């Protein structure tokens, strides 16, 4: 009976220790992910402010964080620069009053998301940029799409 009681105490201590250690590890991991997310959102807010200044627009931008795995949130993935590419492509097209008006009329929001392949669409004012890692020149990819999609007399 004493051996059974001693084994039970040891098992309870091991369980308590495991429950104490693993939540701490999970919390530390999510804290690091949160830091990366905050940093990316700050960089995105700065870039969207610049885009709005250049284009005279009121575009908002966001990241669909649910679409990104933990590994994708790693700074090496290039999330900030990929989202920035979408805004830079818009800025590049704001070269005249006509193109600025076209951007203002047709682009209200930019959403960066993770998908199976790189893609960009513009629907109902939302430019959805679906990235899949560093796929090359995102800026050129998005700019070329927008040049063909945005109707303005001067977007060259």
For residue 65, with 0-12 CB atoms within 10 Å meaning exposed, 13-18 middle and 19 or more buried, which class applies?
Answer: middle
Dist CA 146 CA 92 (whole Å):
10
Query: For position 109, what pLDDT does the model report?
Result: 97
Which pTM does this prediction carry? 0.73
Q: Is the confidence at residue 59, as pLDDT, over 90? A: yes
Q: How confident is the model at residue 67 (pLDDT cuts 50, 70, 90)?
A: confident
pLDDT at 86 > cutoff 90: yes
In the predicted model, is pLDDT for residue 114 greater than 90?
A: no
pLDDT for the residue numbered 60: 95
Higher pLDDT, 43 or 111: 111
pLDDT score recorded for residue 153: 39
- Higher per-residue confidence, 24 vs 61: 61
| Domain spans, the chain | 40-149
């Amino acid at each position: 009976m004493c051996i059974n009681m001693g084994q039970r105490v040891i098992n309870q201590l091991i369980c308590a220790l495991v429950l104490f250690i693993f939540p701490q590890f999970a919390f530390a991991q999510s804290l690091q992910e949160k830091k990366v997310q905050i940093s990316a959102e700050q960089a995105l807010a700065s870039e969207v402010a610049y885009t709005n200044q250049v284009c005279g627009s009121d575009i908002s931008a966001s990241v669909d964080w649910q679409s990104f795995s933990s590994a994708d949130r790693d700074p090496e993935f290039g999330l900030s620069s990929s989202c920035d590419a979408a805004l830079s492509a818009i800025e590049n097209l704001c070269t005249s009053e006509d193109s600025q008006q076209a951007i203002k009329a047709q682009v209200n929001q930019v959403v960066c998301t993770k998908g199976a392949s790189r893609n960009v669409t513009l629907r109902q004012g939302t430019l959805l940029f679906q990235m899949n890692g560093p796929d090359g020149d995102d800026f050129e990819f998005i700019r070329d799409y927008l040049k063909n999609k945005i109707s303005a007399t001067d977007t060259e």
